[in-house]
Amino acid sequence: SLQRTFIMVKPDGVKRGLIGEIIKRFEQKGFTLLNAELMTIDRSKAEYHYMEHQEKPFFGELVDFITSGPVFAMAWEGENVIEVSRLMIGKTDPSEAMPGTIRGDFAAAKEENVIHGSDSLLSAEREIENFFGLLKRRSLEDDF
Ligand code: CMP
């Protein structure tokens, strides 16, 4: 079904100049970019984004890292984009991520793994709203 997902190039990916490469892969796959912004996020936005990891021992470091420099936040739309984008991104731990995936090709450590992608419909909606506010409803009939 037609879905939206939240994709974010993390501070390590921005510093390494991977924004263009990542946009290119999503465009080549045929997904539609709905919104994008380079931004440095505060701790409250980061904590809300990572709420499901609140109890993890690495939560503090995760928030430190994601607020350490600019991220490139994006909303993408397409058929089954949530699941397909996670296949394109690859496993969390880059040592297990397949070559050809974004993490398999570009990441070296699980703490700094270049990119985030929503893991469910519910988290996609929450994450898009956290970063962009309520997204204008855009459908294929809209001319833009
Ligand atoms: P992601 O799946 O995008 O969101 C949760 C992140 O937590 C995950 O990527 C990793 O980057 C990070 N993470 C997982 N395990 C650890 C860990 N042991 N220490 C620090 N960060 C971690």
Residues enclosing ligand 1, CB less than 6 A? 53, 58, 61-62, 92, 110-111, 113, 116
2-132 maps to which CATH number?
3.30.70.141
> What number of CA atoms fall less than 13 Å from residue 142's CA on the CB side?
7
Establish whether 116 is a catalytic residue.
Answer: yes
pTM value? Answer: 0.92
Question: CB–CB of 33/101 below 8 Å?
Answer: no
67-111 pLDDT, tens digit per residue, is 999 999 999 999 999 999 999 999 999 999 999 999 999 999 999
Distance from Cα 88 to the centre of ligand 1, integer Å? 17
Looking at residue 52, its pLDDT comes to: 96
